[in-house]
Amino acid sequence: MALEDVEAACTQANGLISSSPDSLKGLVDLMRGLKARLGDLQSNLKPIAARNIASILNSVDSSSQAKLGKVVYASLIHAGMNDNKKVVRDAALEALDRGTNIADIDGGGVNPKAMEPLIAGFVSESEESEFKVSTSVWA
């Protein structure tokens, strides 16, 4: 299966995926494909897709992580908030955690460059979510 092939390739890369301009376009296309699997009717594919997203985001440099995150953060947030299967919600939240942290090989910690697209994804999803937050609480 293609998702398992991606997972095997990420494992073989040992946390080091090139995000040069030549390879970034391919990574964006791959992330779009994985993003589509987050909404797949076969619910067993969703956590695999989320794990693959996490592996890729945690294996590129911080700038590329933020660029690739723009593609998938909102979908991960949506899965984390709305999927009816706990395993999918947990995988999506783990992907968000790993996908916003700098790779351990680069020192680890939160990636400040990834925060803007993460917050933008959160705002987008919370506006569309069934779980609305009352703005009067914040006033």
Place of tokens 């700038």: 63
- pLDDT at 129 (0 to 100): 62
The reply to whether 70 falls in a domain is: yes
Query: Which CA distances in Å does 33 have to 26, 64, 89, 103, 114?
Result: 11, 17, 19, 23, 20
The Cα 84–Cα 116 span in angstroms is: 28
- pLDDT at 133 (0 to 100): 52
- pLDDT at 68 (0 to 100): 95
Tell me the mean pLDDT in the region 107-125: 92
Query: Given a cut of 80, is residue 132 above it in pLDDT?
Result: no
Both tokens of residue 68?
A: 């690739």
Share of the chain above pLDDT 70, in %: 90
Give the count of domains, the chain. Answer: 1
- String of DSSP letters for 6-55: HHHHHHHTTT-----HHHHHHHHHHHHHHHHHTT-SSTTHHHHHHHHHHH
The Cα 91–Cα 71 span in angstroms is: 17
The reply to whether 42 falls in a domain is: yes
Band of pLDDT at residue 17, cut at 50, 70 and 90: confident
The reply to whether 4 falls in a domain is: no
Domain that holds residue 93: 21-132
The reply to whether 138 falls in a domain is: no
The Cα 89–Cα 47 span in angstroms is: 8
In the predicted model, what is the mean pLDDT of the chain?
86
The reply to whether 12 falls in a domain is: no
The reply to whether 11 falls in a domain is: no
* Among 56, 29, 55, 33, CA closest to 45: 33
The reply to whether 59 falls in a domain is: yes
Tell me the mean pLDDT in the region 67-87: 94
* 55-59, 118-122, 128-132, range with greatest mean pLDDT: 118-122
The reply to whether 137 falls in a domain is: no
Tell me the mean pLDDT in the region 57-63: 90
Both tokens of residue 55?
A: 């592996």
Tell me the mean pLDDT in the region 15-35: 87
Q: Tell me which of 9 and 44 has the higher pLDDT.
A: 44
